[in-house]
């Protein structure tokens, strides 16, 4: 028996990258995927470049690989290919590089033991049907790629291309395959999920995303559907009609980016604070936990504008936050803007924001509802999963619960998680 070289995948960034890594894993024929970094003969880094911090994290990780016993080849892919890839390649930090459009060719690429640089294009859509999610209890399914929005701070449209949607039949085939193989929770991902089936992000007469979700719900084995981040303007009247369906995960992530109207204009955002608040209040009335993205310290964010934003945050029924301090990306309009915000002030504002949302999350969990939990992992004898509200729960049990759905009514509410015995 021939011993296959072992490949370890390190994934940074968003859920779309998580799915892209699964596409690569499913296309490896002459190699073996390992979950143990120290066993690797090859390490594939699926990178993120949304912030400077993301770039730095990838560079630190590359440097750490020198300590591994097998001295693995280092292959770089993902969004960072278009921003930092060339520099990493020229300075011999990595052995090879390939772009998003090349990931289905990974088996052939890895068999090439010479150094190579294949950036590919920004128009590609994958054909691969992923039949398993290695190391996952929930299934991530990409329905859309790229983005037509041009927010002033964002580099992603330049590294992922314009919005393009996967064929509905292929998505349904993908989900059917994974459902047959035991997956019950599906997270629909993409660079701008709400743009699925839309021209320039604007809904058609019929909301094709809603039509897709309804068809997914009819597939045998589908128990819960979640969405990646969507824009407020993409929650149509037709979408609101499915909010009460039992298969909808009771958590939505809606990208606000800010809660001050002047900052939204500076950022070239399409959403408006007043209508955003009305939308969030509607969703909260339906029992939804609500998350958002928020950029702190963007150029022009004065003390006065920040104070107004935080007063508005107090009014929003938020429970989750993906927040970070502004990071200038070369080639974006915001990178040329001023005045710049002092880094210490930005960090202080970030803490203020995150503390507010933590308090809101605790108040939400204290309402103490029946939790429908999918158990995902086990560490040090404790099982961890997410409930329908996308809150973490840790479960102590003598039974093997990995991949199981359990209902939990009695649990203790701690500052940042729930805990229970089962």
Instruction: Determine contact, residues 376/137, Cβ cutoff 8 Å.
Output: yes
The b-or-e profile of 108-127 (16+ CB within 10 A means b, else e) is ebbeeeeeeeebbebebebe
Residue 51 DSSP class: S
pLDDT single digits (tens) 4-60: 999 999 999 888 999 999 999 999 999 999 999 999 999 999 999 988 888 899 999
Q: Could you state, in chain order, the average pLDDT of each consecutive group of 10 residues for the chain (422 residues)?
A: 87 92 94 95 94 89 93 95 91 94 96 92 92 88 94 94 94 96 96 85 73 97 95 95 97 97 98 98 97 98 98 98 94 95 97 98 92 94 95 95 94 95 90
Q: What is the pLDDT of residue 52?
A: 85
pTM of the model: 0.90
- Dihedral sign (CA 76, 79, 80, 85): positive
Q: What is the pLDDT of residue 22?
A: 94
CA 312 to chain centre: 25
Q: Which helix (H) or strand (E) holds 297?
A: none
Expressed in angstroms, the distance from the first to the final Cα of the chain is: 44
Q: What is the pLDDT of residue 191?
A: 94
Q: What is the pLDDT of residue 203?
A: 52
């Amino acid at each position: 028996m021939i011993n296959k070289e072992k490949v370890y995948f390190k994934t940074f960034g968003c859920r779309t990258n998580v799915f892209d890594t699964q596409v690569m894993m499913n296309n490896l024929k002459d190699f073996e995927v390992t979950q143990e970094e120290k066993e690797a003969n090859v390490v594939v880094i699926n990178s993120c470049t949304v912030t400077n911090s993301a770039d730095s994290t990838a560079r630190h990780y590359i440097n750490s690989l020198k300590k591994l016993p097998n001295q693995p080849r280092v292959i770089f892919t993902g969004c960072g290919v278009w921003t930092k890839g060339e520099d990493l390649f020229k300075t011999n930090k990595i052995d090879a590089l390939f772009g998003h459009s090349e990931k289905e060719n990974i088996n052939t690429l890895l068999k090439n033991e010479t150094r190579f640089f294949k950036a590919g294009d920004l128009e590609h859509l994958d054909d691969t049907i992923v039949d398993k999610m290695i190391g996952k209890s929930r299934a991530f399914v990409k329905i859309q790629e790229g983005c037509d929005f041009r927010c002033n701070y964002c580099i992603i449209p330049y590294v992922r291309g314009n919005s393009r949607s996967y064929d509905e039949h292929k998505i349904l085939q993908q989900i059917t395959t994974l459902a047959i193989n035991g997956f019950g929770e599906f997270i629909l991902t993409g660079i701008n999920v709400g743009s699925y089936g839309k021209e320039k992000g604007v809904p058609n007469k019929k909301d094709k995303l809603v039509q897709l979700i309804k068809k997914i719900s009819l597939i045998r084995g589908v128990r819960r559907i979640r969405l990646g981040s969507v824009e407020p303007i993409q929650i149509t009247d037709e979408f609101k009609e499915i909010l009460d369906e039992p298969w909808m995960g009771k958590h939505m992530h809606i990208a606000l980016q800010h809660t001050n109207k002047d900052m939204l204009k500076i950022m070239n955002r399409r959403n408006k604070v007043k209508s955003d608040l009305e939308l969030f209040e509607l969703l909260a009335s339906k029992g939804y936990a609500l998350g958002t993205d928020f950029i702190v310290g963007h150029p022009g964010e004065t003390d006065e504008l920040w104070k107004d934003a935080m007063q508005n945050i107090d009014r929003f029924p938020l429970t989750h936050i993906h927040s970070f301090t502004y990071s200038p990306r070369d080639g974006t309009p915001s990178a040329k803007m001023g005045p710049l915000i002092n880094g210490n002030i930005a960090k202080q504002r970030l803490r203020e924001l995150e503390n507010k949302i933590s308090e809101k999350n605790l108040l939400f969990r204290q309402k103490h509802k029946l939790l429908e939990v999918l158990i995902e992992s086990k560490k040090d004898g404790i099982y961890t999963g997410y409930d329908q509200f996308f809150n973490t729960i840790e479960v102590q049990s003598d039974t093997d619960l990995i991949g199981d759905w359990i209902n939990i009514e009695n649990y203790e509410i701690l500052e940042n998680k729930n805990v229970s015995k089962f």
